[in-house]
Each structure stands twice: as structure tokens, then as C-alpha cells.
Structure 1
């Protein structure tokens, strides 16, 4: 199966503010809309059978731009299993704010994020379980090529999953 993994376009929180977004619903910036349009153009000749997408606005906006370049037969499917990791109490906070209060967490975030446990949030292992469930469903019903529009953390975990690697 041929799969295109696409990260949503830029948001103000990605670049300028460096915040933990997680499952907060943030729209694309103007630059993010431009990036989504470029992604759509780049995939125009791929004749996708389906676009699977996280239910968060930034992914939906990106996926809609990609869908506009596809044939009518391309299905557009919101998939809750592709939602970003839940950062719990960290969501919406700036990286600097978290790491100034907890300097030991910055080293862990940069070198071993899979070991972090986000207070009132989700672990990387839980996201891995979601991805496993998604691909078990996908294998039973889908033909290629498909696109998956989701988040950086989820894409990284998908790549590990597809390569048969664990989170370490």
C-alpha cells in the first residue's frame, strides 16, 4: 500500500509561539494555508483513493486543500485515532514556560520523549496503540494510494510502526 504522510500546515503556535498544541483546536496561519495548497498541488497526479485526517481544524483545513486537487471518487475521512497526542496540563503552554519550571524535563523531551508522562494527558505508548488500531482497520478495507493528514508526533509514531520499530 502506498501511503503519503502529510503534516498539517503551519499555525501561529508552531513557529512564533512554540506552544504545546496537542488536542487544542487551532486554525492554520496564512502561511499554513499556502503550504496546504502546495501539498494539494504536489499530490494532484497521485489519484488518491482516500484522505484520512485528524479531526482537528489544522488538519481538516490542510486535507480540504489536498482534496480539492483530487478526483470526486477520493474519499475524505475524519479519523479520531489520528488526533494529536494529548499533552494534558502542558497543552497551550509555551515550551519555555514548562522547561523553566522543570529544567530536567527539557532534556527528557529532547532525548527520550517516549518516557515522559504528561500530567492529565496521554503517553506516547497510548498514541502507538491508537496507530496500531488504525492500521489494523485500514489493512482490511483500503486500496492505495492514500494520504494521511495528521500531526508531527503521530507521523513519527506511524513511521516507527510501519518500520516495525518500538518507541525507544
Structure 2
């Protein structure tokens, strides 16, 4: 079973000023977001990565490039449209304080499974899209690199929250309970029986423990849950 490292891109000026950037072009990391991306790269420098896959949007590609730059073998970054930000349609580029006055805002907050953005996509459609993309990429990378493969998906706040909700077995209406900050790292390991959520919204800490020893990298881990909590990573 492979492990996916879910990375939200570093902070942008849109994040800092409360603007819903969505799929707008030219939204780049700001003076806080750039070092955030570099810190993620440093955290992952000791992890042997099977791949780095990014949303096509610039802020994610910048974050992915910082992660790749910290890897000894400088792996290539690929993009996948399945990891794209929500298509917020007519809400794109508008201040959040203005959007909070919209009638649909309450639906987004309290019943996101019923929320659909005018001229854009629904949150349910986004959740299905991103979760399917992560599972597909995970299967492909495990098939290529073995069950110990560890890979990175660089995406956006709401898509990562949707992936975590899916992995936790939560209804999409509960996904607003999950926090995913800019520059944060979350970890999911998919198995035949269930996904395991290893971490959520972390900002610090060496992650080299994710890399299995080379001699055991082809050995499949048990998909049983550790009754009693288990002993943790070595």
C-alpha cells in the first residue's frame, strides 16, 4: 500500500487579503508562502519520493518545485487536473466578506453536499473528482514503485479537506470541520480494507520515518487496524 503526502500550497496574497482566488491565473506564493513551501521541502528531504504530482495552478506548481528542489535526486513534477481547485464560477476573485452575505454561503457552511457555485461546480462534484484522482494516482504509483511507495500530491484547501473527509469516512457535510492551512502536510495510506489517516494539517517535524527500508519496500503492510493503538513508527 502506498502513502500519499497531501500538501496545500503556500500562502498567496489572495489568501492573506481574503479573496477567493479559485482558478484565477497568476496567483503566486507571497513572502510568507515561499518560505512555507521551502519548509515543506525541508521536512520531506529525507523521504524517498516515488512521485510529485501537482494541481496545474501556479501556486501549487511553485510549492511542488520547492519540494522537488530539496530532494537529492531532483524528481520531475507532473500535473493532474484532478487535483485542481474548486471551480467557484461567479464567486471567483470576490472578497470572502462579500460572499458571506450571499444566500448560498449558509449552504456552503452547513450543507456543502448541496452547494453548487453559480457558473462553476458543486462541492460534491469536486469531492468525487479529487478523491478519485488521488486514489487513481496512488494505485498507479504503487503499481510502479511497490507497496512502500510514498508520493506527494500538491493541491488546495477544499480539495484536500474533501480527500481527508473521504479517507475518514465522513459525509461531505462534515468536511468543514477539517482545517487545512497553507503549507500544511497531511498523510493518508490507502489499503484494500480502508484508508488510514496518519496525520492532518501538520506544520513541523521530520517525516523521514515514512520511507521504508529498501530491503522491505516491496513487502505489503497489513491492512488490519492496530488494536490498542499499535507501537507507531520506528
Match of 1:148 among 148, 153, 157: 153
- Whether contact under 8 Å (1:28, 1:61) holds in the other structure is yes
Partner Cα separation in structure 2 for residue 28 and residue 89 of structure 1 = 23
Shift of 1:73: 6.5
Q: What SS does the aligned partner of 1:77 have?
A: strand
Question: Contact 2:83–2:159 (CA<8 Å) still a contact in 1?
Answer: yes
Q: CA deviation at 1:38?
A: 0.6
Q: Given the alignment of the two structures, is residue 119 of structure 1 paired with residue 124 of structure 2, yes or no?
A: no
Structure label with greater radius of gyration: 2
- Cross-structure match for 2:20: 20
1:30 matches 2:31: yes
CA contact (8 A) 1:49 1:73 kept: no
Q: For this pair of structures, how many residues does the alignment match?
A: 165
Partner of residue 158, structure 1: 163
**Equivalences for residues 48-63 of structure 1 within 5 A:** 48-63=49-64
CA-CA distance at 1:137 after TM superposition: 2.5
Structure whose residues are more often helix by fraction: 1
Q: 1:139 to 1:49 in 2, by over 3 A?
A: closer
Unaligned runs of 5+ in 1: none
Distance 1:34 1:99, change over 3 A: same
- What whole-Å deviation, never above 9, does each CA across 1:77-118 have from its counterpart, x for those lacking one? 111110000000000001122233x2x333333322332211
Report what 2:45 is aligned to: 44
Moved over 4 A (4+): none
Which residue of structure 1 lines up, in the alignment, with residue 80 of structure 2?
Answer: 79
8 Å contact kept, 2:38–2:67: yes
C-alpha distance in structure 2 between counterparts of 1:136 and 1:5, whole Å: 12
- Let me know the Cα RMSD of the aligned residues: 1.7
Q: TM-score, normalised by structure 1?
A: 0.89
1:142 counterpart SS class: helix
1:21 Cα offset (Å): 1.5
TM-score (norm 2): 0.66
Unmatched tracts of structure 2, length 5 or more: 143-148, 174-234
SS at match of 1:147: strand
How much has 1:136 moved relative to structure 2?
Answer: 4.4
